[in-house]
Amino acid sequence: MMKSGKTSGSGAKLRDRNAGGMSTHKRMVECQYCRKPRADLDGPLQCCSGCKVDVYCSRECQKKAWPSHKSMCKQIQQRDAEATTEEMDEIVLLRKFKGKHRPMIFECTVQALDLYNDPTRSQRYILIIDLERRPHSNQPAIAFRMVDARVVAFEDMESAQRNEMRIQMHQAEGALMGSGDGTIGVMFTMLRVNTGAATIAGAGFTKDVLVPSRDWKGLLRTCMNNGVVV
């Protein structure tokens, strides 16, 4: 049932430039049930073989997460089944791209949503990252190019996207908020390609990962457009 999720990569340059960010990275890449960070594990996190979206540290955690993950997992699979092969290839590639850039996406989302000043903004706003497909590139980390990124209020989103958000928020909050380890909220980021393909990333955050906003858009652009993964 489990498939190994490759999560390696070099981000030495970024770590230098962005000292202090490592604790954020560690926390953001973690088992979606027990929240054990990837850095504390011997091997890689394993992804759910059904949806290929959620990651876990062990079979045990995947089993325990299943009752709350089940409906989202089925919905993702249902949507995948309805997509054409071409659309599917793009979605799969987009999810891989998201996986590669996940720590940076979450670090930038903290700043973009200004959660340092008001953590409750994560309940009203989402970061949307607009991408375009980079032709002739099937390497996941550089398969897309960031065109722009902006913060949007949930209430200003199209209804289809808002419904999608609600499902994912509900699921993520159930899984992330109940763990009693200092998680104070769940933040969301949408990656959207100009062809219409989109995927949403959600992550719980603790108080100590909240840092004042810097040039998050520049950082995001630099990482995504140069394929820098951490």
Residues that bind Zn ion (CB under 5 A): 31, 33-34, 48, 50-51, 57, 61, 73
CB nearer to Zn ion: pick between 73 and 229: 73
Q: Return the exposure string of 65-89: e unless at least 16 CB atoms fall within 10 Å of the residue's CB, then b.
A: bbebbeebbeebeeeeeeeeeeeee
Q: Which is nearer to Zn ion, 61 or 224 (CB)?
A: 61
Shortest distance, position 35 Cβ to Zn ion, whole Å: 7
Q: Which is nearer to Zn ion, 151 or 167 (CB)?
A: 167
Shortest distance, CB of residue 141 to Zn ion, whole angstroms?
23
Q: What are the DSSP calls for 174-223, one per residue?
A: HHHHTT-SSEEEEEEEEEEETTS-EEEEEEEEEGGG-----SHHHHHHHH
Nearest distance from residue 189's CB to Zn ion, in Å? 19
Say how far apart CA 165 and CA 126 lie, in whole Å.
9
Choose among 62, 63, 146: nearest CA to 100: 146
Instruction: Please state the closest distance from residue 52 (CB atom) to Zn ion, in A.
Output: 7
Note the residue count of the chain. 230
Alpha carbon distance 151, 112 (integer Å) = 7
Residue 48 or 104 with smaller CB distance to Zn ion: 48
The residue among 157 and 198 lying less far from Zn ion, judged by its C-beta, is: 198
For residue 181, what are the β-bridge partners?
Answer: none
For residue 201, the minimal CB distance to Zn ion (Å) is 15
Q: Are 53 and 47 a contacting pair, CB within 8 Å?
A: yes
Residues with Cβ within 8 Å of residue 112, at least 6 apart in sequence: 127, 149, 151, 213, 216, 217
Q: Select 47 or 115, whichever has its Cβ closest to Zn ion.
A: 47
CB of 183 to Zn ion, least distance (A): 14
